[in-house]
Chains A and B, each alone.
Chain A
Amino acid sequence: GENVEQHPSTLSVQEGDSAVIKCTYSDSASNYFPWYKQELGKRPQLIIDIRSNVGEKKDQRIAVTLNKTAKHFSLHITETQPEDSAVYFCAASGNAGNMLTFGGGTRLMVKP
């Protein structure tokens, strides 16, 4: 089955700096890669996703890149703000309607 590794497990940045979170996956058949943000005690919230036919996708301060050959994908947050502080999870899925395999999460702390 699929295995997703996520690094780093914790990340502390100064407000205004950029943050990068990296994930690797094992199943070359995976073709959908979402990112979720989870605040303490809240539900995981889909913030951006990318499919295997695209190398990069951007939405305001958030961008995701995908390297299918190397089987890794990354989340980039620019101009970080204190409200970006949360746990971020990457995930991978093989087919529409299929389950998500999650990474272990990254706790991002943005210091004002």
Chain B
Amino acid sequence: NAGVMQNPRHLVRRRGQEARLRCSPMKGHSHVYWYRQLPEEGLKFMVYLQKENIIDESGMPKERFSAEFPKEGPSILRIQQVVRGDSAAYFCASSPQGDYYEQYFGPGTRLTVT
């Protein structure tokens, strides 16, 4: 059973460009979460999605950031017009449907904005 997959693992963008981060949850998992980790800091919640629905986006900046989890395909975190402050590791986690709590993390995408 493959774990949570994320790609790309490393992404370099110039200021003003767009970044697209992809996350494929574990098989059988229908809950996806995105977290951001700045260097030497903890993880901060950004958004929680189920298939075709955003459940909670309270941790995501209202401008430039968006997320989706379509019926088919991976979840995507999109950052438009990136700035240096967006440089961080972005982790995706997934959880099974139903009354479960455990979240399993992917390897992360390390975004560097130059």
Contacts and interface: CB of A to CB of B under 8 A. Distances in A.
Given A100-B45, A102-B44, A44 B100 contact: no
Interface string B69-108: 0000000000000000000000101010011111111111
B42 interface: yes
A104 B101 contact: no
Contacts of A99: 33, 45, 48, 56, 59
Nearest to A33: B101
Interface residues of A, number: 24
Contacts of A34: 101-103
Given A99-B48, A102-B42, A44 B105 contact: yes
Contacts of A97: 31, 48, 55, 95, 100-101
A48 to B, nearest CB: 11
Given A32-B101, A100-B33, 11 more contacts: A36-B105, A44-B43, A44-B91, A49-B101, A96-B99, A97-B55, A97-B100, A98-B56, A99-B56, A100-B103, A102-B44
Interface of A: 1, 6, 32, 34, 36, 42-46, 49, 51, 89, 93, 96-105
10 shortest interchain CB distances as A-B pairs: A99-B45, A32-B101, A102-B42, A43-B105, A102-B43, A96-B99, A44-B105, A104-B42, A43-B107, A105-B42
28 contacts: A6-B42, A32-B101, A34-B101, A34-B102, A42-B107, A43-B107, A43-B108, A44-B43, A44-B91, A44-B105, A45-B105, A46-B103, A46-B105, A49-B102, A89-B43, A97-B48, A97-B55, A97-B100, A97-B101, A99-B33, A99-B56, A100-B43, A100-B93, A100-B103, A101-B45, A102-B35, A103-B42, A105-B42
Interface of B: 31, 33, 35, 41-45, 48, 55-56, 58-59, 91, 93, 95, 98-108
